[in-house]
Amino acid sequence: MLSNRHIMTMDDLTSNEVTLILDTAESLAEVNQRRIKKVPTLRGRTIVNLFFEPSTRTRTSFEIAAKRLSADGINFTASASATAKGETLRDTARTLAAMSCDLVVVRHKYAGAPQMLAEVMDCSVINGGDGIHQHPTQALLDLYTMRQSLGRLEGLRVGIVGDVCHSRVAGSLVPALRMMGATPVIIGPPTLMPARPDVLGAEVCYDLDEVLPTLDVAYLLRVQFERATRMPFPSNREYAMLYGMNADRLAAMPSHAIVMHPGPMNRGVEISADVADSPRSVILGQVESGVAVRMAAMYLLLGGAESGAAA
Amino acid sequence: MDAQSMDRALTRIAHEILEANKGATGIALAGIMTRGVDLADRLAERIERIEGTAVPVGSLDISFYRDDVAIRLSPEVHTTDIPFEVEEHTIVLVDDVLYTGRTIRAAMDALMDYGRPGSIQLAVLVDRGHRELPIRADFVGKNVPTARRERVKVLLAEHDDRDAVVILEDDGEGE
């Protein structure tokens, strides 16, 4: 059903395929509301979560998604794996391939690592976040959440605020929004913008207050202190004053506008506690959507693999 | 099967459901997406007309319960909607064509995930034979002997602008 057997970047998907994933996720979201939250769809399939970077929510989300589709999910974390003993990524991939897994979800600190694995392995690969490059299922769940909250994607103006230069979330979300007819606007201090912000294909703005009244979504990025080689602004307090979402800024947005964040949040830096917990924040909705969207991605990647007869 | 004979068959099935269950109390209909849902609506309408009692109708999407996901995916996935307590009802599954029985098995699996029905009965407009599982319908509109290479298509005004059952040469897409 998907033209590509891997999901590496948003470029692997067409707008029709994105719509198919979102529609399928809508049906699968119903499964997550039931008393018995499980369907037998991927019974007998093996899905490996191969995480070389710390992650709680993404890994758990993929793990729950696999379990709800009745697939056998295996978690493989770098600290407990042979890579800690010096095995190369390529050899790890070959070892996993020899175990006949059907889908591997890879997170790695280096951009391109999932692509390299996909070239070595026979199974499907989902990029679960590679360095500062892309995180396509995050973009898909964000699109899903926006569509659920605002009823459409086309024509939306989405402000992506903060640490754009270190953000794989922005790396996937900007092309995803453009593909679906929305307008991404990247906003942040020059020190947290890419060297050539124009190449992302988004509108660029350095003044959050100026652009807020025009936005349907304020998407706040986590400041990734761990990826920064130097402190990109004088203090957290100054950042919060200039780019942090607070109650006053929320009031400056149109009444229908929503606030999103990929998590984990630095409360008091990019978002104040009252905004994070306000009814206009859909941050927990994003987490909930993540399971359904990942179930849809797995279903569409692993289903229909062979040609054959009807039931 | 033309529109008139389809209408007669559905009316007869409605009577048979009422007779088998001694009335409409405790009955719920669950149509299998997509045409089974329209047929379930039509049966519910007839049951209400005959008995004066409205029976609840739900819709089942069985895409995620199929045993051939590895072979092919459903082109379109819908949402299941069961607006009644499964435990408290005798549920009549409704589908347009009964063929291998695999769809009905999947539908029963799906239904069981919502609860434990008192009992499950099966009503189909057409039984074309070629069962691969030990499943039979309780209420059948018409038995239509077919060859495996043929395809039975139920046309409903809700989707196709007319009511009819036609037999086509298989185009490779299957049921």
Could you report the per-residue pLDDT of A228-262, keeping only the tens digit for each? 667 778 888 999 999 999 999 999 999 999 999 99
Q: For position A80, what pLDDT does the model report?
A: 59
Q: Within an 8 Å CB–CB cutoff, is residue A154 touching chain B?
A: no
- Phi first, then psi: give them for residue A51, nearest 5 degrees: -110, 115
Residues in chain A with CB shorter than 8 Å from the CB of B32 are none
Distances (CA, A) of A129 to A48, A160, B13, B94, B172: 15, 18, 55, 45, 40
Q: For position B85, what pLDDT does the model report?
A: 92
Mind telling me how many Å the CA of A167 is from chain B's nearest CA?
Answer: 33
Token readout for B67 is 């045993």
Q: Within an 8 Å CB–CB cutoff, is residue A98 touching chain B?
A: no
What's the mean per-residue pLDDT of chain B?
Answer: 91
Task: Say which residue, A100 or B13, is predicted with more confidence.
Answer: B13
Task: Say which residue, B74 or A59, is predicted with more confidence.
Answer: A59
In chain A, % of residues over pLDDT 70: 95
DSSP 3-state of B136: coil
Mind telling me how many Å the CA of A16 is from chain B's nearest CA?
Answer: 13
Ranking A94-103, B93-102, B124-133 by mean pLDDT, the lowest is A94-103
Residues within 8 A of A (CB atoms), B 44-103 only:
61, 63-73, 77-80, 100, 102-103
Q: For position A310, what pLDDT does the model report?
A: 37
What pLDDT, in 10s, does the model give residues A199-218? 889 999 999 999 999 999 99
Q: Residues A80-109: what's their mean pLDDT?
A: 83
Q: Please check the confidence at residue B7 and state whether its pLDDT lies above 70.
A: yes
CB pair distance less than 8 Å for B71 and A24: no
pLDDT bracket for residue A85 (50, 70, 90)? confident
By Cβ distance, the residue of A27, A69, A303 closest to B73 is A303
Q: Residues B18-25: what's their mean pLDDT?
A: 96
**Do the strands A217-220 and A157-161 form a parallel or antiparallel pair, or are they unpaired?**
parallel
pLDDT bracket for residue B171 (50, 70, 90)? low
CA-closest candidate to residue A310, choices B101, B146, B80, B37: B101
d(C-alpha B120, C-alpha A21), whole Å: 33
Mutate to test the interface with A, among B32, B61, B73 (most CBs of A within 10 A): B73
Q: Nearest 5°: CA angle at A2, between A182 and A297?
A: 75
Strand order in the sheet with A217-220: A203-205, A183-187, A157-161, A217-220, A258-260
Q: Residues B64-79: what's their mean pLDDT?
A: 75
Q: Please check the confidence at residue A34 and state whether its pLDDT lies above 90.
A: no
d(C-alpha A171, C-alpha A163), whole Å: 11
CB pair distance less than 8 Å for A304 and B103: no
Helix (H) or strand (E) holding B118: none
What pLDDT, in 10s, does the model give residues A139-177? 999 999 999 999 999 999 999 999 999 999 999 999 999
